[in-house]
Every structure is written in structure tokens, then in C-alpha cells.
Structure 1
Amino acid sequence: MTFLKRMLEQSRLPLTVGQFWWYSFCYWSIFAVITFGQLMMLWLLKEGVVMRPHEMFIWLLDGLFWWSTSPLVLWASIKVPIAFKVRETSSIIRPLLIHLVIITLCNIFINTLHYFITNPLMYSAVGKSVPLESYLFSFFIAYTASVGQYLLLVVGFNKVSYIYQYQELKQQHFETELHNEQLRGQLANAQLQSLKMQLNPHFLFNSLHSVISLMIKNDIRKATLMITTLSDLLRAVLANQSADFIPLQEELKLTRQYLDIQQIRFQDRLQVEYHIDPASELYPVPQLILQPIVENSITHGISDMTTNALIRITSTVSAAGMQVNIYDNGIGAAQRKPSNGLGLGLKNTSLRLQQAYGDQARLQFDQPPGGGTSVTLFFDGRPMAGGDGGRVTADG
């Protein structure tokens, strides 16, 4: 019983031991009924020839014997599978020869058992026996049928076993891919969170530096107003801290709050313009993706301007995707002073775009002929699954 359970586990067949014996009984019974029908037709054609009780007993023993060999057939089909491989004719000849040896030995065994054990017992019981010639005749006549039945069962076991093994491997592959995809998503989220955690302190420190500058100048009113505005901005950022992506309209609110802080500092020197396509407002973007670009425009573009400083934010939507452009009329990228903050903020932005969108988003610098600097974010598609694009919040 343990042997049969082990064989069933190796074959991947979803059968219990009881089910295996039942299906085997049905399989061999089909051929037994066919054989009995053939014998009946033979007896009807030969007048006066009928099956005697002891012959029916032998026929019944034959059926039980082949039924009992089902575990052997299962074992043989696992150990020596019949599988034809293209351009390898020998791949099927060797297994066939091995199975022919097995079925031949089984036929020799059953006939030898009948002749040396069943026959003497039957002679003692009814005084009649079957001559050796009849066993030899039965061996050669039944051999072809037994070979066909045996090979059909072996091939059937192989095919059904392969189907279940393939389905199991396919399911395992699917589960593995799903698990790997989940791990990739978790890794992407962790990387996005790490980038965001780098960005928030960077932005906060720069804002606090502006507050300190105002306090040094003894401009308490502006410093107080800036701290209040900064508090509102941080509250909005924290409200969305669990979301990697927010609608563009919410991102623009954060950007406006940041620029409000800067306008307190620059007063009438800074003008901010917005040209936002309504179709772009619900487009999901990484949180605080615009802030480092705007900060870069202020810190390295217009900070030294004494009047008419301009920052313009424009968004457009087309069949190719969405574009967000941040333009400033400052001194231009070629003349900007190098800064660690510049490297951190914009490198962080580029990394976040790559992490969230892959090749479907990019950041581009331009210097318009009239001067200033233009930074454009191109979004060719929605965020990738690994970037958790579905987690979008509309809370302000």
C-alpha cells in the first residue's frame, strides 16, 4: 500500500489508492468483457462447444491477475516512460523493448502458474485438467492482445501523468512569477519611499534656511508667515505620505504652497504663472515630483534677480501622454552655480521617474532662445505595476 501511494505521488495523479484500484478494475473489465464476448461467438459458431466451469474459473483468474498487475504497469510507466523525441528514433525503441520483455514475462508467469498450480488443483477438484498444448495455444493467441492492453495502459499513464505534471509546473510557475512580481513591487515601493524620505528633509532644510535668513534680517512678520505656510505644506505632504502617486492637481497644490513660501521671501520680485490643461489634472504623478525642479529654478535661476523674476508651470495632454514644463527666466543653466542641493534634488527626481515609469517617462533640460531655463517632464504612459500606480489619493 505504501509502495502504491509513493508511485501515485511520483506520477502526480490526483487519485487515492482506492480510486486507483477501482479505475484499474474498470479498465481490465472492459477487455475481459470483450474477450468473453469473442469466446461466446466462437462457441456459438462451434456447435457443442461450451465453456466448462473450470475453464471459466481459469478465465476469471486471468482477469484478476492482470488487474493485480496495475501497480506494476504504473511503476514501469514511471521508470521507463514511452516518449517519442523528434530526430531520436532510439528514444522510443529502447522503452518499447523493455516493456515487451515485461509483458512477455507476465504472460509466461501466468501460464506457468496455471500449469503447475491451478491445473493440479483443478484436477483434484473436478478430475479434469487442461493439456499443455492448450496453454501454449492460449499463450500465443492471447499474447498480442495482452501486449496491446499493457502498452495502452502504459502510454495512458504517461500521458495523463505528463498532463498533471505540466499543469502543476504551470501553476508553480505562475505562483513563482506572481511572488516575484509582488517582491518587485515591494522593492519598487521601498525604493520610492527611500527616495521620498531623502527628498522631504532636503526640501525642509532649505525652507528652514529661508526662515532663518528672514529672522537674521529681523523680519519676524515674514518669518512667522513663512513658518505658517510651511506648516500647511508639511501637513498636506503628511496627509499623502502613504501614497506614492497623487493626481497632478494635488501635486500642483503642494507646488503652489511651496511657491507661496518663496513669494513671501521674494515679495514682488517673483511672479508665478500656471497654464494647466484640465485633462491633465487627474493624471497620477509621484508626490513632490515638481518641487525639486521649482526649487532648482529659484535657487539657481532667479535668486539673484532683483525684479521681474518669472516661473511658469504648464501642463498639456496629447495622444503620446502628458507633459509638464517648468520654465524660469533666470540666468540659464550654463551659468548656474554648482551645488550639492542641485545634484540631490534633480538626481532624485530622475531616479523617481525611472523607478515609477521605466522608459515611459523622462526629464529634459532646454535653454530657450530668449533666455532662461526650461525643464520638461514627459510621461508617455501610466505608472508601472511595480510602482504602485494604483495608490492615488485625492486628499489635499
Structure 2
Amino acid sequence: MIDPFYRLLQRLFQQSGIPLTPKTFWRYSAWFWGGFAVISYVHYTIWELLTQGSMYYTETWHWLVKWILWWATSPVILWAANRYPISTDQGWFVLIRRIGTHLLILSLLSLGMICLEYLAVWRFYELETRKAMPPDQIIIWFFSRYSLVIAIYMLVVVGYQIIVASYRYQALQKQALQIEMTVEQLQAQLDQAQLQALKMQLNPHFLFNTHHTIIGLIVQHENKKAIAMLTALSSLLRSIVDHTDVQFVTLTEEMEFIKSYLRIQQIRFQDRLDVAIDLMPETLDCTVPQYILQPLVENAFVHGLEKIASQAQLVISASRDDDQLIMKVQDNGPGIKGEISRSGVGIQNTQRRLAQLYGEAAELNYCQTLGGGTTFIVSIPLN
């Protein structure tokens, strides 16, 4: 009885996403129809005893055959529920047509089961009661049970669709969670890749100038300055290597990197560069994105201080404003002409990093003084 429906059930459960095997289905189905059978048997027995005063054994056999047939034809009902789902998604006309299809299927199914019941019962009935059971009894059973058959059939159809919808919703939730986790992983990888790209981007231009400066110092026999620049460069590169996978550092650690960078620039500018660092004590342990200030400081040199012949001035400051950390990089260069996005790739990268890490909670702005010079202002939320 089970083998003919094995592939049908297997295909149905695969399509619907219900984690059942055919063997498990038959077990659950037996409990389902068994519950109906027990309730109906108690009801029918009480009715017969109250109205007839007794009950034939044939009627018990008939009851057993009837519910075994319901249990055996369950796959057919599930197939119909899967093939003709009842919903208004495709319009009322389709819904009415599918309800009509189900009425036809349940009518044929009911008629077939009643014919099998008749074949299984009529001979026992005649032997026990010594009365004939004419074939007309098939029609009587069919119409007397029709409303109950509709109720049971539609209960199975609707119940199956509810279970399918539930499992599909759970599957979609699981899929959405997996997608969200994948997106977060990709975002983390993207952030890390952008951080590495930032490191690679700031190195070539800076290393090129530093290399030529060191050669020039050696040619001029300025060996102490050349050694000092090489030492500062070594410290700078070691910091990059040691913090390859680090996304956030304290402001103190960030400034150590900046100071190594500035030591090299001070040797390059010789006595023409004045640097002032003003960090409020309460900001030193604040967490900041690694290398968040370096592009701003580099921008101050490339687009500002290297373009003037007078005394170059650079001021780096940090303070707290409620729950925000405010960091400023100010130079006395010629200023930025046009939009902030034209001030360099490093500034654009910094804007993107802040947006990815903090969303709208972080800002990068700039302002210019009347006498020239540019001040970049970074505002990030405190952790």
C-alpha cells in the first residue's frame, strides 16, 4: 500500500520543503486518521445503542474499512492540495475554478472509497443480518456523507497548505539570515580590503618623496638627518606591518603613526615646518578607525603645505563634544578650490570609510580661513 505512493510523497515533500520522509508521513497520517476514527466510532456506537439498542459486528468492520481507506488515500489529497493550491493570489476566477476542481476530486475519491467499502462489507452484512445490501446503498452512503467528506477533505487541503507556508516562511527566514550573515562577512572583507588599499595608496607617493630626500641628504653628507629619516620610515613601516588586520586603535596609537610620518616631513621641510599637536587628555583612550587621520595629514602636505614657500604650519587637535570625538587637521596652505571631493583620493576614501563604519553618525567637513589654509574636521561617535 505504501510503495505505490513513495515517489509521489517524496516529490511532494521536496517541492514543498517539508522535512518528512514517506515512512514518517505514514506514521503521522495514521495518528491523524486514527484520531478521527476513534471519535467517529464512539459517536456512532452511542448513536446505535440509543436508537437500535445493539450494534452489528459488520458495522464495526465497515467503520474500520472506511478509515483505512481515508488513511490510504491521503497522498492523493496531498497531491491535489499541492497541484491546486487555494489562494486569491491569481484572482477570484482561478480560486473558484480550483475549488470546483477540488469538489470534483473529492466526489470521485469519495465515490471510489464507498464502492470499495461496499465490496468489503456487503457479504459480511448479508451473513450477519440475513438481509440483502443492494447496490443502491452506494448512492445513499455517498449523499448522506457528502458534507462530512467535504469538511474532512478541505481540512486536509487547507492544513497541508498552512504547513507548507509555515515551512517556506521558515526557509525564507533562514535564507535571509544566511544572506545577512554573508553580506556582513563581505562587508567586513570589503572594509579590510579598503583599509589595505588605503595603506597601499598612501605608500607610493610618500615613499617616492622620502627615498629622494634620503638620497639628497646622503649626497649632501647630511648623514645624521638621513639616518633619522630612515629610522622614522622604519618605524612607520613597522607600524603598518604590525597592524595589518586591525580596524580600530586608540587615538594615542593613531598619533604614534602620525608622529612617525611627521618626523619624516619635518626633515624634508627642515626649519620651514611648524607642527602643533593639541589633544585633550580625555580623548587619548578614545577608539578611532586606524589611519583615519593620515589621509588628512597627507592631504595637508600634498595639496597645501608643499605649495607654499613661506613657513608651513600644521595643527592637529582633538576634543570631546558630548558623545562625539572631534578631530581637526589644520594647515596654512592656499586652501581647497572647489568641492571637498576634489581634494584627493585619500579624502574620498576617508569619507567612504566613515560612512561604512558609522553611517550618518560620523561626518567629515572642512572650512577655510580668510587668510588661506584649510581645516578638516572629523566627528565620530564615542564607543
Give the structure-1-normalised TM-score.
0.82
Deviation at 1:118, TM superposition (A): 4.5
Structure 2: gaps of 5 or more residues? 1-5
Give the count of matched residue pairs: 371
Distance 1:151 1:268, change over 3 A: same
The alignment status of 1:200 with 2:197, answered yes or no, reads no
How far did 1:372 drift?
Answer: 4.2
The 3 A distance-change label for structure 1 pair 148 and 353 is same
Does 2:223 align with 1:220?
A: yes
Residues 42-96 of structure 1, C-alpha deviations (whole Å, 9 max, x = no match): 3223344x3222232222111111111111111111111122459x443432222
Structure 1 residues 1-396: aligned runs within 5 Å:
1-48=6-53, 50-85=54-89, 88-115=91-118, 118-120=121-123, 123=126, 129-298=132-301, 300-301=304-305, 305=309, 309-319=312-322, 321-330=324-333, 332-333=334-335, 346-358=344-356, 360=360, 361-369=362-370, 371-381=371-381
Most deviating of 210-219 and 102-111: 210-219
Q: Provide the rounded CA distance (Å) in 2 between the counterparts of 1:63 and 1:265.
A: 96
Query: 1:39 and 1:245, CA in 2 relative to 1: closer, same or farther beyond 3 A?
Result: closer
| Residues 292 and 345, structure 1, Cα contact 8 Å, conserved in 2 | no
**Contact map agreement 2:61 2:121 (CA 8 A) in 1:** no
Aligned mates of 1:350, 1:32 — CA distance in 2: 74
In structure 2, how many angstroms separate the alpha carbons of the residues matched to 1:40 and 1:117? 20
Structure 1 pair 99–368 and aligned structure 2 pair: CA distance change class (3 A): same
Offset at 1:27? 2.0
Whether the 8 Å CA contact 1:293–1:345 is kept in 2: the answer is no
- Counterpart AA for 2:232: T
Does the 8 A contact of 2:282 with 2:320 survive in 1? yes
Any conservation in 2 of the 1:363–1:375 contact (CA below 8 Å)?
Answer: no
Question: Structure 1 pair 366/136, CA: closer, same or farther in 2 (3 Å)?
Answer: closer
Q: Partners of 2:147 and 2:192 in 1: how far apart?
A: 66
The change in CA–CA distance for 1:345 and 1:261 in structure 2 (over 3 A counts) is farther
Q: Sequence identity, in percent?
A: 35
Q: Greater shift after overlay, 64-73 or 347-356?
A: 347-356
User: Judging changes above 3 Å, is the alpha-carbon distance between structure 1 residues 344 and 365 closer, same or farther for their aligned structure 2 residues?
Assistant: closer
3-state SS, counterpart of residue 19 of structure 2: coil
Residue by residue over 1:187-238, the C-alpha shift from the partner in whole angstroms, topping out at 9 and shown as x without a partner, is 3322331232121232222222222232233322222222222222222232
Aligned AA (1:379): S
Give the match for residue 387 of structure 1.
none
Q: Separation in 1 of the partners of 2:270 and 2:94?
A: 86
Shift of 1:109: 1.4
Kindly report the root-mean-square deviation, in angstroms, between the aligned alpha carbons of the 2 structures.
Answer: 3.1
For 1:376, what is the secondary structure of its paired residue?
Answer: strand
Residue ranges of structure 1 left out of the alignment (5+ in a row): 336-342, 384-396
Aligned with 1:333: secondary structure? Answer: coil
1:84-111 residue CA offsets vs partner (Å, 9 max, x unmatched): 459x443432222211111111222123
Counterpart in the other structure of 1:386: none
State how far apart, in whole Å, the 2-side matches of 1:135 and 1:45 are. 25
SS in 2 for 1:243: coil
Q: 1:269 to 1:112 in 2, by over 3 A?
A: closer
Separation in 2, partners of 1:97, 1:239? 73
- Letter of the 2:40 partner, please give it: T
1:142–1:208 distance in 2 versus 1, CA, 3 Å: same
- SS at structure 2 position matched to 1:313: strand
